[in-house]
A = this chain, B = another copy of it.
Amino acid sequence: MCKNFSSTISAYLAGFLDGDGSIYVRLKPNNTYKYGFQVAPYVVLFQSNQDRKNFEKLCSKIGFGILRERKDGILEYSINKAEELKFFLTSIKPFLILKRKQADLMLKILDKKGKVKNQNDFEKLAQLVDNFRELNYSKKRKIRTINARRD
């Protein structure tokens, strides 16, 4: 599906992600999903819009993902399709220094996500998602009740 990255492109992207990127998964309450939540994984690269042209050049080397401009003028390049995330993270992981644990956890979640068969499996997956908060040092830890499906 995806064109292989050269080792220097992979290393560059690892450096950029370590410097100014984010790896995270959100559990979004959504009644149309079987277990009441959508598992939404993201890799995002950030940049100010002052050098949009070169940032677009950088993004074009990836070859997938979506570029959008936030209201505050920050450009966000996000990858959120499972297959693309797997390819991207597997390619850059050998070169990551700061976010290697996040990459491992994301790959584990993407793997488990495809294998959820029942509520118990889903709760285990949600536990893994919770681990991101610790890795990313979020200050606003939420207590969430997975079972509180609104239907």
Interface set of A (CB-CB < 8 Å, partner B): 7-21, 45-47, 50-51, 54-55, 57-58, 61, 95, 97-98, 137
A51 contacts which chain B residues (CB < 8 A)? 98
| CA A13 to CA B15, docked complex, whole Å | 6
A20 contacts which chain B residues (CB < 8 A)? 19-20
Specify which of B8, B9, B21 is in contact with A19 (CB 8 Å cutoff): B21
A45 contacts which chain B residues (CB < 8 A)? 19
Instruction: Determine which residue in A10, A61, A95, A98 has the highest number of CB atoms from chain B within 10 A of its CB, and name it.
Output: A98
| CA A20 to CA B58, docked complex, whole Å | 15
A61 contacts which chain B residues (CB < 8 A)? 97
| CA A9 to CA B45, docked complex, whole Å | 20
User: Are B12 and A58 in contact, CB atoms less than 8 angstroms apart?
Assistant: no
| CA A72 to CA B116, docked complex, whole Å | 43
A95 contacts which chain B residues (CB < 8 A)? 8, 12
| CA A142 to CA B114, docked complex, whole Å | 57
* Extra 4 A-B pairs, beta carbons < 8 Å, given A16-B18, A51-B98: A12-B12, A16-B16, A19-B46, A61-B97
A46 contacts which chain B residues (CB < 8 A)? 19
A50 contacts which chain B residues (CB < 8 A)? 137
